[in-house]
A and B are shown apart, each in its own frame.
Chain A
Amino acid sequence: MEQLLQIFLFIVTIAVAYALGSIVESEHYVSIEKREKDCLSLPVVTSYKIEEKDNILEARLVYGSVVISVDYFKRFLAVLRNFTGGRLTAYESLLDRGRREAILRMKKKAQELKADIVLNMRFETFPIGGLSSAQPGASNCFEILAYGTAVRLKS
Chain B
Amino acid sequence: MKYIPKAITENVNVTKVNHLQEFFVLIGGILGSFIIIYLVLGLTLDKVIEKMPAKLERTFSNLFSQAYGFKKTLPIQEQAAQNLLDQLVERISPKDPSGYAVHIVKEPVVNAVALPGGNIVLFSGLMEQVKSENELSMVLAHELGHFAHRDHLRGLGRGAVLVLLSSMFLGMDNSLTNFLMNILVTADLKHSREQEMMADQFALDLVQERYGHVGGAIDFFERLREKEKLPHFLAFFATHPHQDDRVHLLNQRIKNKGYTVGEIIAFHFTEEEKK
Residues of A within 8 A of B (CB): 1, 3-4, 6-7, 10, 18, 36-37, 40-41, 43, 51, 73-74, 76-77, 79-84, 87, 89-90, 92-93, 95-96, 117, 132, 134-135
B7 touches A83 (CB 8 A): no
The distance in angstroms between the C-alpha atoms of A83 and B22, with both chains bound, is 13
Chain B interfacial residues counted at CB < 8 A:
34
B178 interface hit (Cβ, 8 Å)? yes
Contacts between chains A and B (CB distance < 8 A), count? 88
Nearest-CB residue, chain B, relative to A39: B5
Q: Specify the main secondary structure of chain A where it touches its partner.
A: helix
Residues of B within 8 A of A (CB): 1, 3, 5-7, 11, 13-15, 17, 19-20, 22-23, 26-27, 29-30, 170-176, 178-179, 182-183, 185-186, 234, 237-238
The distance in angstroms between the C-alpha atoms of A81 and B172, with both chains bound, is 11
Can you list 8 contacts pairing A with B, beta carbon distance less than 8 Å? A4-B237, A40-B5, A43-B5, A73-B19, A77-B23, A80-B176, A89-B19, A134-B170
The distance in angstroms between the C-alpha atoms of A155 and B51, with both chains bound, is 94
Q: Which residues of A contact B5 (CB under 8 A)?
A: 40-41, 43
Q: Which residues of B contact A92 (CB under 8 A)?
A: 13-15
In addition to A6-B178, A79-B176, A93-B14, 14 A-B residue pairs with Cβ atoms within 8 Å of each other are A1-B238, A3-B185, A6-B182, A10-B182, A77-B19, A77-B22, A77-B23, A89-B17, A92-B15, A96-B14, A117-B3, A132-B174, A134-B170, A135-B171
B186 touches A90 (CB 8 A): no
